[in-house]
Each structure stands twice: as structure tokens, then as C-alpha cells.
Amino acid sequence: MPFLRNRPLVLFACLFCTSVFAAEIKVIQPYVNVTRANDLSASVYAQLVNNTKEDRYLVAAQTDAASKAELRTVVSRGSANETRNAPFFRVPPQSTLELSPSTQHIVLLGLIKPLEKNDHINVTLIFKDGQKVPVRVPVTFLITDFMHMKAKNTE
């Protein structure tokens, strides 16, 4: 078995391939927004960077923090916006897809326990090609809720 004689070279090649594969999709500045402390749902936002020369398709998300995770997109309906389920999010080659409240995002339904500021949850992004990208996501609150809590405490 000639490849065993070159163990360091084989190990280096394996590590290189793993790091290149892992760098295909980068997740930048992920966060979970909770609107109220006792909400049973929350939204996940981030920037997805596609470092490949091909389209990448996010088709699902999983977390142990909620019973269900859905991909959602915002559609304009006249003067109002409507949120709909999306079958996938396309991340164009050599570009960034912004997951935000006004565009595409991930909604967590049936939270297992209330999320608290400064907590973290684990979310796995699942792509059409089978790649799974684990992400540790910090929990934040909307500023309007902070202002509401502050006003309520001063009454």
C-alpha cells in the first residue's frame, strides 16, 4: 500500500479538501431576533457568502431550539408586505445573500423554551447538494421591545 508511506501527505490533502469544502459557504453575522420574551417563534438572519462558481441552494434549516424551521420570503402586496414559505433560497456564485426581516429569512416555530438575550442556539443550514453548515447563532431582542420594557418599568 504505497499511500500509507506518504501518511503526512495524505493527511495534508484530506485537511486541505475539508477546509476548501467548508469555505464554499460562509455564514457571517448570524443572529436570532426575538420580539417578545415569551414568543413561541423567532427569526434567524445572516449573510450567506457563496465562494464557489456555481449557484448554491439553501433548502432547509434544522435546530434543536424549535420544533420546526421554515424558509420564508417577503412579498410586497400593494402597500403591505406578506411573508410566504419558500422552497429554497438561491445564493448566486461569488456573491452574498442577505437574510433579513425585509427579504428572505428563517423562521423558528414552536420554540422549545423561551430564548433570552445573550443565549446562543445551534442551527444547521442544509443545501441542495447535501452540504450541512452548522452555525452558532446569538440571540438578540428588537430595540422596540427594549424600549417597551424600559417604559413599562418606569410606570
Q: In this model, does residue 19 exceed pLDDT 80?
A: no
Q: In this model, does residue 3 exceed pLDDT 70?
A: no
pLDDT of residue 34: 80
Tell me the pLDDT band of 117, cut-offs 50, 70 and 90: confident
Return d(Cα 99, Cα 61) in angstroms, integer: 13
The three state secondary structure string of the chain is: CHHHHCHHHHHHHHHHHHHHHHCCEEEEEEEEEECCCCCCEEEEEEEEEECCCCCEEEEEEEECCEEEEEEEEEEEECCEEEEEECCCEEECCCEEEEECCCCEEEEEEEECCCCCCCCEEEEEEEECCCCEEEEEEEEEECHHHHHHHHHHHHC
Q: In this model, does residue 49 exceed pLDDT 80?
A: yes
Residues 13-22, mean pLDDT to the nearest whole number:
42
Tell me the pLDDT band of 20, cut-offs 50, 70 and 90: very low
Return d(Cα 84, Cα 108) in angstroms, integer: 14
Residues 95-122, mean pLDDT to the nearest whole number:
93
Give the highest mean pLDDT range of 23-27, 60-64, 118-122. 60-64
User: Do the Cβ atoms of 62 and 54 come closer than 8 Å?
Assistant: no
Q: In this model, does residue 42 exceed pLDDT 60?
A: yes
Q: What is the CATH number of domain 24-154?
A: 2.60.40.1890
- Please state the pTM of the whole predicted model: 0.75
pLDDT of residue 39: 74
pLDDT of residue 116: 84
Q: In this model, does residue 91 exceed pLDDT 80?
A: yes
Tell me the pLDDT band of 26, cut-offs 50, 70 and 90: very high
Residues 19-25, mean pLDDT to the nearest whole number:
58
The larger pLDDT score, comparing residue 59 to residue 153, is at 59
